Amino acid sequence: MRVWYVTSRKHSLRFGGRVKMAPTHVLRCCQRGLAWIPVIFIALVVCWSYYAYVVELCIFTIPSIAEKIIYMVFFHLSFVMFVWSYWKTIFTRPANPSKEFCLPKAEKEQYVKEERPESQQEILWRAAANLPLYTRTGAGAIRYCDRCQVIKPDRCHHCSACDMCVLKMDHHCPWVNNCVGFSNYKFFILFLCYSLVYCLFIAATVLQYFIKFWTNELPDTHAKFHVLFLFFVAAMFCISILSLFSYHLWLVGKNRSTIEAFRAPVFRTGSDKNGFSLGFGKNIAQVFGDEKKFWLLPIFTSQGDGLTFPSRLVNIDPEQPTVSLQPEANKSIEDVPASPLSESQNHLLGNEQHANNVTEHLENDTGSETITIIMERES
């Protein structure tokens, strides 16, 4: 009897554990399901707007065949680009830190066993010694995610909704049920752009028929409700999207994320809200790429790998190694700070530091003197 009692108790504890775990699992599934409600709402509105514009307005209301064709062509162009960019924003998985930013197994175990924050930071400092990190916490410590157990790359943040660290995280958008970051930020900007164009086009072309229905110049038909409501919905979304789109264009021009706009990143030299700004042209190219022919297409063309970003503060970082600029005659030596920049950073900064030796010839106006500057990187 005693053995039977103990066994039954063990089973009851296990069963009780399952009962306690079940609500958490169910709650998480419910949260994931409810998160799609805004996306479904937008999809239903878009489907209704397509029906209202194409069928009720163009087919049943507009009398001119030429006007119908013109409206239909431009409407479908804006509709396709809007749906394409919206789809890419939703279903592009956020980029995560690579394995290089994960602690080795031995150091991870040591980090977990340590109780003092100072000792934990020493472990992180050793692990981050060879990583291209320029940002710190507000206290100057290494940015580490205890949830994902990774050292956070620059501009990387943990999203509680997605439960993951996202490279160059901007924000979590409920209207796309996804994190907006390095991998889909261009798609998000284009989604705002084409949704604004879509709403503007609908509002502009529906306006005259809205006035005619409102003043009873056109007979009351089943199309009246759709046309009137279509104008109100398009105008309402147009106003809200315009403010959001303008704000994100400003962020792109400043090379900031929404998080960085509210909380300036902290570098080794201190906090600076413009630390990643390289100038308007290079800031735009960092998001949309070098080839302008792809800027308006929801195709990934952003520069870099999302792990490292060029910063105007790199050259004044005292913790970076130095390289020597030597004149050809070896008359003087000048040490300047350098940093282990990635190929994408070199490309953005417009230099040639990724080569082992770079030789530049500077000639004066008379062409009588030539100075050779040789830059050598430490191996």
Task: Enumerate the H helices of the chain as residue ranges.
Answer: 2-34, 37-51, 65-91, 105-113, 117-127, 185-214, 222-254, 258-262, 280-288, 343-349
Look up 102 and say whether it is catalytic: no
Structure tokens belonging to residue 98: 């690579």
Please report which confidence band the pLDDT of residue 60 belongs to, taking 50, 70 and 90 as the band edges: very high
Task: Give 292-344 pLDDT, tens digit per residue.
Answer: 999 999 999 999 999 999 988 655 544 444 333 333 333 332 333 333 444 44
pLDDT, greater one: 11 or 61: 61
Please report which confidence band the pLDDT of residue 189 belongs to, taking 50, 70 and 90 as the band edges: very high
Instruction: Select which of 165, 173, 179, 199 is catalytic.
Output: 173
Is the sign of the CA dihedral 228, 230, 231, 237 positive or negative? positive
Paired with 180 in beta bridges are 171
Query: Are the C-beta atoms of 328 and 349 separated by less than 8 Å?
Result: no
pTM assigned to the model = 0.78
Helices 222-254 and 185-214 pack at an angle, to 10 degrees, of 150
Instruction: Using the predicted structure, report yes or no on whether residue 188 has a pLDDT greater than 50.
Output: yes
Task: Give 191-224 pLDDT, tens digit per residue.
Answer: 999 999 999 999 999 999 999 988 888 888 888 9
Q: Return the ∠ at Cα 127 (arms to 122 and 131), rounded to 5°.
A: 125
The DSSP secondary-structure symbol of 265 reads: P
Nearest to 200 by CA among 149, 243, 148, 242: 242
pLDDT score for 299: 97
Task: Give 67-109 pLDDT, tens digit per residue.
Answer: 999 999 999 999 999 999 999 999 999 999 999 999 999 999 9
Q: Is 191 exposed, middle or buried (0-12, 13-18, 19+ CB in 10 A)?
A: buried
